[in-house]
Amino acid sequence: MIQNVHQPSLSIVIPTYNHAHFLRTALDSIRAQTFGDWEAIVVNNFSEDGTSAVVESYDDPRIRLVNFSNHGIIAAARNHGLLLTQAPLVAFLDSDDFWYPEKLQRCMDKLAQGYDLVCHAEVWLGPGERRRMVHYGPEVRATYESLLLEGNCISTSAVVVRREWLERAGGFSVQPEFVTAEDYELWLKLARDGARMGFVDEVLGEYLIHEGNQSRTALRNMQAVMAVFEHHRAALEGHASDSRLRRREAVILYSGARGLQDSGQHRQAWPHFFKAVLRYPWVPRFYAAMLINALGRRP
């Protein structure tokens, strides 16, 4: 007789590398969820710390560890985890982030209203003692054109998405030039394909910003976002004016400059501020940030 194996309602994919000191907090936050019908797959990039021991310390059959070499492309790890999932719904959690107990249930409730992807608000912690609430969306911002021209408004560790849409989009792109912006590129593909995206305006998790975050590497992220934009911009021909396209390019350059400024690299920020202004000079916040940069202060 073939034994029936329970298929969970939701699969959680957790890529990790040398984050044993963070991973336990992430896994504890999953086990504390009020919604318990899940499986979690930790995709370990052959960590050299105690990552394996942390996962093995849990006597919970819902948590699995797989070793996978992603060669520095976290999208490959997420895609590998996705291939191993069983559930029709998928959530992603970076190993240095964590969720509040109601996260999954709140997202499940929102998905039940006919959405294909749901994203909730988060607290951003760091760098240092900084702490701020970040609200994503709103829904009108989650269209293909708006995401492309106005930028990302979705966070990977804050989403639950229907597996069928991830498969239709081909998962995360593993193109090296998209590294640090591969999530943004996935949301663009989902929006282009017609996925309905909803937002929960409630803080249900925390995103840790520290010097190990790839997304804090300002220039690399700026270049990755620009590469994603250039990859998709042909779809806007005839739909967006040259002025709007130039403004988007300028804002990407400005974001790179702000990232450098925020990390105290004021001198390195100047070329990107100047490029942003030359590309599109009619954005007041460019000049405010440049004044702050001239004073050598963080915003």
Question: Of the candidates 94, 215, 101, which has an alpha carbon nearest to the alpha carbon of residue 158?
Answer: 94
CA distance 129 to 111: 34
User: Count of alpha carbons within 13 Å of 196, Cβ hemisphere only?
Assistant: 7
Longest Cα–Cα distance in the chain: 75
Tokens in use for 212? 């190990």
* pLDDT score at 47: 92
* pLDDT score at 298: 65
* Sign of the C-alpha dihedral computed for residues 226, 273, 138 and 25 taken in this order: positive
Helix extents (H) in the chain = 20-31, 51-56, 74-84, 103-111, 144-150, 163-169, 182-193, 218-232, 242-262, 266-279, 284-294
* pLDDT score at 3: 42
Beta-strand relationship, 38-44 and 63-67: parallel
Letter string b/e over residues 237-262, b meaning 16 or more CB atoms within 10 A of that residue's CB: eeebeeebbebbbbbbbbbbbbbbbb
* pLDDT score at 42: 97
* pLDDT score at 211: 61
* pLDDT score at 130: 81
* pLDDT score at 241: 86
- pLDDT tens for the chain, residues 1 to 299: 344 467 899 999 999 999 999 999 999 999 999 999 999 999 999 998 889 999 999 989 999 999 999 998 999 999 999 999 889 999 999 999 999 999 999 999 999 999 999 999 999 987 777 889 999 999 999 999 999 999 999 999 999 999 999 999 999 999 999 999 999 999 999 999 999 999 999 999 999 887 654 345 788 999 999 999 999 998 887 777 889 999 999 999 999 999 898 888 899 999 999 999 999 999 999 999 999 999 986 66
157 exposure class (CB count in 10 Å sphere: 0-12, 13-18, 19+): buried
